[in-house]
């Protein structure tokens, strides 16, 4: 018997406001840069499969995080972003996104794997699943639609 093919359920949208990228120069692996995260928001999607805690979730992305990027010789960008959010009730949520962005004939390929961490028991379900997200680069920000693998 084989395992079922995983499906994806939309759970939230994350909008990250970005500062100006800082160039740290070229290494043997490619060019290093750091993009500061200035703020943003996390909004739960009202989907019955999203999970009770996530459906009504609203959180502010806090300033102070950042995306440590590697621009590879082939032009693709390795993403390693860490940042934090806080709900209106004051609950902390840590986010860690790793992935890749590269140009394609159709525009761009931008996907990340996303991990959540929180000390709030009401949000614990965020820590108990795997998440992937698409990425859309907009002027001064990135928008991710986040999906839980089921």
Give yes or no for residue 49 having a pLDDT over 70.
no
Q: Tell me the domain boundaries of the chain.
A: 8-149
Give yes or no for residue 71 having a pLDDT over 60.
yes
pLDDT at residue 50 in the model:
59
Q: Could you report the per-residue pLDDT of 26-40, keeping only the tens digit for each?
A: 999 999 999 999 999
Tokens read off for 129? 């699943």
Q: What percent of the chain has pLDDT over 70?
A: 95
Quote the pTM value: 0.90
pLDDT at residue 104 in the model:
87
pLDDT at residue 1 in the model:
72
Give yes or no for residue 54 having a pLDDT over 80.
no
CATH, domain range 8-149: 2.40.160.20
pLDDT band of residue 105 (cuts 50, 70, 90) is confident
Which DSSP helix (H) or strand (E) runs through 95? strand 92-104
The CA distance from 44 to 58, in Å, is 6
């Amino acid at each position: 018997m084989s395992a079922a093919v995983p499906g994806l359920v939309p759970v939230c949208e994350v909008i990250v406001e970005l500062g100006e990228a800082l160039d740290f120069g070229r290494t043997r692996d490619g060019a290093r840069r750091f993009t500061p995260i200035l703020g943003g928001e996390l909004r739960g999607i009202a989907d019955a499969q999203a999970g009770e805690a996530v459906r009504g979730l609203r959180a502010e992305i806090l300033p102070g995080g950042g995306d440590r990027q590697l621009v590879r010789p082939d032009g693709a960008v390795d993403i390693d972003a860490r940042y934090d959010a806080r709900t209106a009730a004051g609950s902390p949520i840590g986010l860690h996104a790793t992935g890749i962005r590269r140009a394609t004939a159709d525009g761009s390929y931008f996907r990340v794997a996303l991990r959540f961490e929180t000390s709030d028991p009401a949000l614990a379900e965020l820590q108990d699943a795997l998440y992937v997200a698409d990425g859309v680069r907009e002027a001064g920000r990135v928008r991710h639609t986040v999906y839980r693998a089921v």
